[in-house]
Amino acid sequence: MQASPEVTQFKGVWAYLEQSSGRFESVAYELLGKAQELSEKLSTNVTGVILGHNVSGLAEEAIQFGADQVLIADSPVLAQYTTEAFANTLGELAMQRKPEILLLGATHDGRDLAGRLAVRLNTGLTAHAVRVEIEHDTNLLVCGVPGFGGSIIAMCKCPKSRPQMATIRPGILPIPRRNPERKGTVEIVPVKQSEMRTKVVERSVKEGIDITKAEIVVVAGRGAESCLDAVRKLADSMGGVIGVTRPLADKGLMPRDHQVGSTGYAVSPKVAIVFGASGAAHFVSGIRDAKTVITVNKDPEAAIHDYADYSVVDDVSSLLPLLISKFGGISR
Amino acid sequence: MKVVPKTEEVRLDPTTKTLDRSKAENEINQPDKNALEMALQLKQKHGGDVVLLSMGPPFFEPYLRLGIAMGADDAILLSDRAFAGADTYPTSYTIATAVKKIGHFDLVMCGEESSDASTGQVPPGIAEWLGIPQVTYVSRIDIAGSTARAKRTIKGGYEVVEAPLPLLASIELGCNSPRFPDFRRKRWAEKEFKLTVWTSAELGVDPNKIGLKGSHTVVDELIELPKPFRKRERITGSSEEEALQVIHRIKEALSA
């Protein structure tokens, strides 16, 4: 791949700040924190890019969490995410302004957008990175990309093309501190109002829960499918959240925002209690950052026990009612 | 369609720091099976042909034949040394070039991501190369005339996106139950079916845009994430005693 002679013309770290209904996705804050860190190493600035409708109020929020400059594209065509409108808008901005790095959250919409944009911009994209660094001698962005269910990380770079694009897995990076004194510039950019081919005709969302921030996560695997209500009850009584393994989410037993694992969410609670999961690599990678893991599985040979601090070999359905009744009497 | 090694069976060679797939069994990427099943259901409803397209080495062939056994009408393997080492950019370019070569199409369907690299970037890339609309993380497609309605999983629920054909859809893992191959068709697929193979010359791709040469990203090194330290202590006793110990450990963890 021939090095583009204009590589040095690309400057600045951009963070695409995904929002919905006028509120930033959690990952937007995470990106701003990382963008600040990267821009310091590169002696450059952080630009937060916000696309939506009636979103100019978010500029101040972006600045307080780390943006030096905010670009706002505000238009009815951006009221709901569509690939076409968002790729056209963000793509045009990136082509005009030439950032050296463009970060997006690896949410469904973020990945949908990034995948298209990377081809449009003729550049490299690394997916759902869990590590993001600047290489000391080259100043290149290096991203750790998990593969094979999360157990193997590939350190990837985009040496010759710009912008260096990456989607970052939500819930991995810390949320930076708000600085109400921080100053920055805001620019409202024009948006082309062309005819869109796709449109969203129906949308059904329930207020999602963010299990990545919970202190207590109680997970139900296939072995606990028949006692899902009891698992939920236990989670509620502890002030924790319920998580499920992929098969249960596939069946629609719980919404996807509760799915724990490499294709779901990574959780980092103080304690994760896992009922009836066998210990597949895809799932286990989602709980690796839990401080304490307690597992219950009636199969003594189940792999999950190797990933636990404390494991119980017993029937999930007999243990759950006991836990619920005994925990109920204890205050946190 | 992509053929991938079974995830659990892939190891990282500690000395060479390269992937050791030698002991891993291969399989059709699971979401691709869901995509194929959806394609077959749409064919049953609306007619048309289902063509499997895959970029990979010759060992992909028997898996494509399996897809034919499930009910696909044709299969094309894009196979050439020049395609090797491709990241998602040349991969999507190569596959899009093949779609253009096939000619008329209404739907391009892909699994949402592959279980090896799991980037999920190839489907949107293909859509961009073809200049067609895309809908990702689709669990259901309904077609009326030349318009499709795709149900798409989003955070907290779903949305229904309406788009004109031709359309690219990436299909969610687990959204349907892929059918078993028909026994008689399987024999025919293995023994008689003529699989098409296109090399880079036959495909007419730009040699600078394929394989390692066409890749924008490079993999510096592979790291096996160290397993987090776990105490691996067994809690034993009667169910009552176990429950009390579990609660004790939970409280301990919370106060840490």
Question: A30, A107 in Cβ contact below 8 A?
Answer: no
Question: Number of folded domains in chain A?
Answer: 2
- Position B182 in a domain: yes
Which tens digits make up the pLDDT trace of A230-269?
999 999 999 999 999 998 988 889 988 899 988 788 899 9
Nearest-by-CA chain A residue for B159? A203
Chain B residues whose CB is inside 8 A of the A107 CB are: 155
- Position B238 in a domain: no
Both tokens of residue B30? 């699971």
CATH number at residue A240: 3.40.50.1220
Q: What percent of chain A is modeled with pLDDT above 70?
A: 97
- Position A198 in a domain: no
> Which of the listed residues A141, A159, A189 is the one where a domain comes to its end?
A189
- Position A276 in a domain: yes
Q: Provide the domain limits for residue A39.
A: 7-189
- Position B231 in a domain: no
Which tens digits make up the pLDDT trace of A292-323?
999 999 999 999 999 999 999 999 999 999 99
pLDDT value at A5 more than 70: no
- Position A15 in a domain: yes
Task: Report residues of chain B scoring pLDDT below 70.
Answer: 17
CA distances from B199 to A213, B64, B105 (A): 49, 17, 21
What does the DSSP 8-state code read for residue A78? G
A110 and A143: one domain?
yes
- CB-CB: which of A263, A308, A326 is closest to B243? A326
A301 and A238: one domain?
yes
- Position A179 in a domain: yes
Cis peptide upstream of residue A163 (ω within 30 degrees of 0): yes
A99 and A147: one domain?
yes
A113 and A250: one domain?
no
Report the candidate in B128, B87, B114, B125 with the shortest Cα–Cα distance to residue B29: B114
- Position B228 in a domain: no
Chain B residues whose CB is inside 8 A of the A112 CB are: 124, 134, 136-137
User: Between chain A and chain B, how many beta carbons pairs sit less than 8 Å apart?
Assistant: 285
How many Å lie between the alpha carbon of B197 and the closest alpha carbon of chain A? Answer: 26
Question: Number of folded domains in chain B?
Answer: 1
pLDDT value at A2 more than 70: no
Residues A150, B228: Cα–Cα separation, whole Å:
13
A45 and A113: one domain?
yes
> Which of the listed residues A131, A156, A189 is the one where a domain comes to its end?
A189
CATH number at residue B86: 3.40.50.620
Residues B66, B28: Cα–Cα separation, whole Å:
9
- Position A206 in a domain: no
A12 and A120: one domain?
yes
Question: A197, A134 in Cβ contact below 8 A?
Answer: no
- Position A196 in a domain: no
A157 and A224: one domain?
no
Chain A residues whose CB is inside 8 A of the B220 CB are: 142, 155-157
Chain A contacts in chain B segment 25-64 (CB below 8 A)? none
Say which amino acid occupies A118: A
A184 and A305: one domain?
no
Residues 6+ apart with CB under 8 A from B133: A83, A84, A197, A198, B127, B163, B164, B167, B168
Both tokens of residue A282? 């895809």
- Position B246 in a domain: no
- Position B24 in a domain: yes
Q: Provide the domain limits for residue B183.
A: 3-209
ipTM of the predicted structure?
Answer: 0.91
Q: Which helix (H) or strand (E) holds A231?
A: helix A228-238
- Position B36 in a domain: yes
Residue from A27, A116, A122, A283 to probe the interface with B (highest B Cβ count within 10 Å): A116
CA angle A86, A171, A253 (to 5 degrees): 85
Task: Sort B113 into a burial class: Cβ within 10 Å, 0-12 / 13-18 / 19+.
Answer: buried
Question: A148, A185 in Cβ contact below 8 A?
Answer: no
Residues B136, A108: Cα–Cα separation, whole Å:
8
A114 and A235: one domain?
no
A180 and A302: one domain?
no
**Mean pLDDT, rounded, of chain B:** 93
pTM: 0.90
What's residue B133's pLDDT?
Answer: 97
> Which of the listed residues A136, A154, A189 is the one where a domain comes to its end?
A189
Q: What is the mean pLDDT of residues A214-241?
A: 95
Q: Which residue has the tokens 């699989």?
A: B195
- Position B253 in a domain: no
Residues A49, A68: Cα–Cα separation, whole Å:
11
Which tens digits make up the pLDDT trace of B190-213?
999 999 999 999 999 999 999 999
What's residue A264's pLDDT?
Answer: 83
Could you tell me the strand order of the sheet in which B134-144 lies?
A: A199-205, B157-164, B147-154, B134-144, B167-171, B107-111
